[in-house]
Amino acid sequence: MSEDHFKKIISHAKEFGFIFPSSEIYDGLSATYDYGQNGVELKNNIKKYWWKSMVQMNKDIVGLDAAIFMHPTTWKASGHVDAFNDPLIDNKDSKKRYRADVLIEDFIAKIHEKNEKDILKAKKRFGESFNEETFTTTNPNILRRNKQIAEVNEKMTSAFNSDDLNEIYNLIIELGITCPVSGSKNWTEVRQFNLMFGTEIGSVADESSTIYLRPETAQGIFVNYLNVQKTSRKKLPFGIAQIGKAFRNEIIARQFIFRMREFEQMEMQFFIKPGTQKEWYDYWKKQRMSWHKSLGIENDKLQFHDHVKLAHYADAACDIEFKFPFGFKELEGIHSRTDFDLKQHELYSKKKQRYFDPETNESYIPYVIETSIGLDRMFLTLLSNGLKEEKLDDGSSRTLFSVAPALAPTKAAILPLVKKDGLSEIGTDLYNKLKLDFECGYDEKDSIGKRYRRQDAVGTPFCITVDHDTKIDQKVTLRERDTMIQERVSIDEVSNIVSKKVNMNSLF
């Protein structure tokens, strides 16, 4: 994958009605995007699949839809007012602002890239006799670079763990990190920047009336955990899941929908007995990774990344990373959050947040394992994974969006070969029948070849062509998107055949 591929994804997303820059007629608003006619369908289908897998297929998990605004003390208790900061640094020449940790991580990623290049070169040179393990454990260049990576990681972790902004600045200078825009090392000091958007509630603008747009959906779950537990009569372990908007005033808002200021999260908090967190953490890691694989995401584009620097609330944490066109980056976080949040809410609200365990007759604050995925990042994952330029046998090429049929914005497009001779009427009848079973499209403009290409580009798994023979044999041509195989099937059978293939159940 490459920068070119990324540019292609962005322009494709716009051209085919997936994603538009927000308020584009006013030149857009940075890091804010709108989902178009195909985007909203794909996004809704991702939500549906997540909700079904996490809530409806789990007897121990229920859903919630909490408000975006929450009592301001929520964010004091959760630590967001004091600690939801990013360390920022400015380049004095380009006037560009960066996250200091990202600059250092990018520096490390470049060293990794050099190692990968050397491994690839050696693979080519030695052919079948190449042994990667021997090479990476003996090659002096690789060993030297790995040592450097370990040293930089160690220094970075120690600086962050002790909140030593000077040390972070020193590390950036020591590594000779330059600004990607100006190329200079003329940096300001490192400062902390709170990522929450604040606003005033009501008409009085004093401090007590400042409220925040939630920076994560999780706190809505924590403050409702006893409401849900008592009314659902759930016993531990049980989970609460929620899909909703979150807002962060990101310092560097680039990379399209990867890092937005307004985005959507799909989060699940699993409440467990203290002491069982390791077992449940491993369980949810496995579950979530297989969820991604069920969507046909290529195995070598997914990996776990353990956190070196643990957040103040976590005793273990990792990311599921996807290989985006700009490298492996976080798609989903899995965090063992201990009893931190509930304990804090008990402290600040002075309301007991304890669970009475009927098996042991004890009361305690549950521990929590969280799975937290960005809906927009999942959307970008599917686009990055599925968008392909394919050479065809006749020398032409096509743009194909190969996405799991159950998630495709349109499941089947009905295409009368021509508008006349009664074919439109047959097509419209078929559309009216099939639209009850799955999302259908209807297109009778341009040549059939062009129409197939348009459907391939938006990921429609099936095209149904009505032609003159249909009037005689009551059959239509069913064309499958990825293989382009066409078969004649009876009109009465179409619904059954397509339904089976596009049904979400086929993903489980």
Burial of 105 (0-12, 13-18, 19+ CB in 10 A): middle
Nearer to ligand ATP, 272 or 380 (CB): 380
Which residue, 319, 324, 263, is CA-closest to 297?
A: 324
Tell me which residue has tokens 């003390």.
Answer: 73
CB of 248 to ligand ATP, least distance (A): 5
Six token digits for residue 433: 């029948």
Burial of 495 (0-12, 13-18, 19+ CB in 10 A): middle
DSSP assignments along 403-447, one per residue:
--GGG-S-SEEEEESSSTTTHHHHHHHHHHHHTTTS-EEE--SS-
User: 368 with 267: CB under 8 angstroms?
Assistant: no
Q: Which residues of 135-147 are buried (b: 16+ CB within 10 A; e: fewer)?
A: eeeebeebeebbe
CB of 231 to ligand ATP, least distance (A): 27
- Interface residues with ligand ATP (CB under 6 A) are 216, 248, 250, 259-260, 263, 265, 330-333, 372-374, 376-377
Nearer to ligand ATP, 105 or 439 (CB): 105
Nearer to ligand ATP, 255 or 349 (CB): 255
CB of 264 to ligand ATP, least distance (A): 8
Nearer to ligand ATP, 195 or 228 (CB): 195
Six token digits for residue 331: 């798609």
CB of 267 to ligand ATP, least distance (A): 7
Nearer to ligand ATP, 250 or 439 (CB): 250
Nearer to ligand ATP, 330 or 467 (CB): 330
CB of 152 to ligand ATP, least distance (A): 18
CB of 333 to ligand ATP, least distance (A): 3
CB of 325 to ligand ATP, least distance (A): 16
Nearer to ligand ATP, 167 or 250 (CB): 250
User: 156 with 104: CB under 8 angstroms?
Assistant: yes
Tell me which residue has tokens 């020449």.
Answer: 93
DSSP assignments along 51-97, one per residue:
HIIIIIT-TTEEEE---SB--THHHHHTTHHHH-EEEEEEBTTT--E
Give the number of residues written for the chain.
508
Say how far apart CA 24 and CA 234 lie, in whole Å: 47
DSSP-derived 3-state class of residue 176: coil
Nearer to ligand ATP, 265 or 460 (CB): 265
Distances (CA, A) of 362 to 296, 357, 508: 45, 5, 38
Q: Cα-atom radius of gyration of the chain, to the nearest Å? A: 26
Nearer to ligand ATP, 247 or 462 (CB): 247
CB of 343 to ligand ATP, least distance (A): 20
Phi and psi based region of residue 52 (left: phi greater than 0; alpha: psi -120 to 50; beta: remaining) = alpha
CB of 243 to ligand ATP, least distance (A): 12
Nearer to ligand ATP, 84 or 442 (CB): 84
According to DSSP, the β-strands at 412-416 and 462-466 are: parallel
C-beta nearest to ligand ATP: residue: 374
CB of 24 to ligand ATP, least distance (A): 19
User: 249 with 94: CB under 8 angstroms?
Assistant: no
